[in-house]
Amino acid sequence: QKSVQDVAPLLSKLAVLKLNGGLGTTMGCVGPKSAIEVRDSQTFLDLTVQQIEYLNQVSGADVPLILMNSFNTDEDTSKIVQKYSTHNVSICTFNQSRYPRFKTDSNLPLAQTPENKPNMWYPPGHGDLYESFANSGLLDQLIDEGKEWVFVSNVDNLGATVDPVILQHMADTGAEFVMEVTDKTKADIKGGTIIDYDGQVRLLEIAQVPKAHVDDFKRVKKFKIFNTNNLWISIKAIKRLVASQKFDLDLIVNNKTTDDGTAVIQLETAVGAAIKHFAGAHGVNVPRSRFLPVKSTSDLFLVTSDLYLLENGELRLNPKRTFKTVPVVKLGDHFKKVNDYLARFKTPPQILELDHLTVTGDVSFSSDVTLEGTVIIVANHGAHIDIPRGAILNDKVVSGDLRLLDH
């Protein structure tokens, strides 16, 4: 184990970059996903700033935070970051590219003019980072400031904190690219994986797998690890590869339908696919705790619970939990949007002893509810279930119709 103080000289050569191009639409939120409140009224961005501020305070280094925005998130993010102006962290932003969508039937671009009209354009995936980073001028600025590495991760991965051990590993090995991978579970069947392709390390994403082999790809026994998208990359190597136009990332064809029903194609690339271009590139198997994404309200349920403790912007698994694995949580469509989810829980339930939770239908939870073991709650169509205040559900199946009035 290494402490932050142990690697203080290396931290002065590090920058942290968060991929901040996504919107919170899948969780029913307006604006950048990074502005969603995830814990104690704090957003993804708040927690990230806290982490880096603490890192700088303890180490005496000046690790900057860089946000790669998309045209969807840039305006809102620019306003939000102003509130951190008094914090001990320098924040820079740049925009990734925008590409025109193509009509599926004609392969012609949907946009007729360069104006940014709704549905016409899209951010082309995070593989665009390398070119956009260089074009923004920030890459050269970091090199001039003596920075050597950039730690890249998704802004919604609450487990992606600066790890002194991996930073030391980058310095010791001289590798230009390290991808953090972790053991695959049934919950991660869609995650990309590292493969050996003609003697070369490559990233294989599910979108690149022929339909006939998708089931093979999803098997945990076949591919035991997946890419967390936590990446440690040499800044000078990015500069070299962009300058020599060496980046040739595998294209992912994404078929979409616009609001008016037009079938369109988006051509996207993944930032991890560049692993094949960097010298000494390899994967490092990390604990599951470094992959804590919030993609749904089921994930939000976990990170807001007593399962995690919050320290200096970092979530840690509560030592009072007997098992070091995280419960499987499946919340139904009634919980899909953040506002609906919040309205259905008076307070977050206590889940230190929970293994599995499934909730479907019109269900609400009063305060101080404890869930243990396997709990399944099903309100059939037209029915409503209220879980009463102070209830303890241990290995229970609840179904039917149950209404309670607090007085």
Please give the average per-residue pLDDT across 214-220, as a whole number: 84
**Burial of 144 from C-beta contacts in 10 A (0-12 / 13-18 / 19+):** exposed
The whole-number pLDDT of residue 354 equals 97
The whole-number pLDDT of residue 56 equals 96
Note if 295 is an active site residue. Answer: yes
Integer distance in angstroms from the first to the last C-alpha of the chain? 53
| Distance separating alpha carbons of residues 312 and 128, to the nearest angstrom | 31
| Distance separating alpha carbons of residues 311 and 319, to the nearest angstrom | 13
Confidence of residue 407 (pLDDT cuts 50, 70, 90): very low
Confidence of residue 232 (pLDDT cuts 50, 70, 90): very high
Can you read off the two tokens belonging to residue 7? 């690697």
Q: Is 70 exceeded by the pLDDT of residue 404?
A: no
User: For residue 287, which amino acid is it?
Assistant: P
Q: What percent of the chain has pLDDT over 90?
A: 76
List, for residues 334-379, the tens digit of each pLDDT value.
999 999 999 999 999 999 999 999 999 999 999 999 999 999 999 9
The whole-number pLDDT of residue 117 equals 81
Predicted TM-score (pTM) of this structure? 0.93
Confidence of residue 405 (pLDDT cuts 50, 70, 90): low
Q: What percent of the chain has pLDDT over 70?
A: 99
List, for residues 283-341, the tens digit of each pLDDT value.
999 999 999 999 999 999 999 999 999 999 999 999 999 988 899 999 999 999 999 99
Q: Which long-range contacts (CB under 8 A, 24 or more apart) does 97-102 make?
A: 97/123, 97/124, 97/128, 97/131, 97/132, 98/70, 98/71, 98/122, 98/123, 98/124, 99/123, 99/124, 99/266, 99/267, 101/256, 101/258, 101/264, 101/265, 101/266, 102/264, 102/265, 102/266, 102/267
CA-wise closest residue to 21 among 60, 77, 63: 77
**Burial of 306 from C-beta contacts in 10 A (0-12 / 13-18 / 19+):** middle
Q: Is 60 exceeded by the pLDDT of residue 230?
A: yes
- Given 236, 239, 276, 295, the catalytic residue: 295
Structure-derived torsion over alpha carbons of residues 233, 237, 238, 240, reported in degrees to the nearest 10: 180
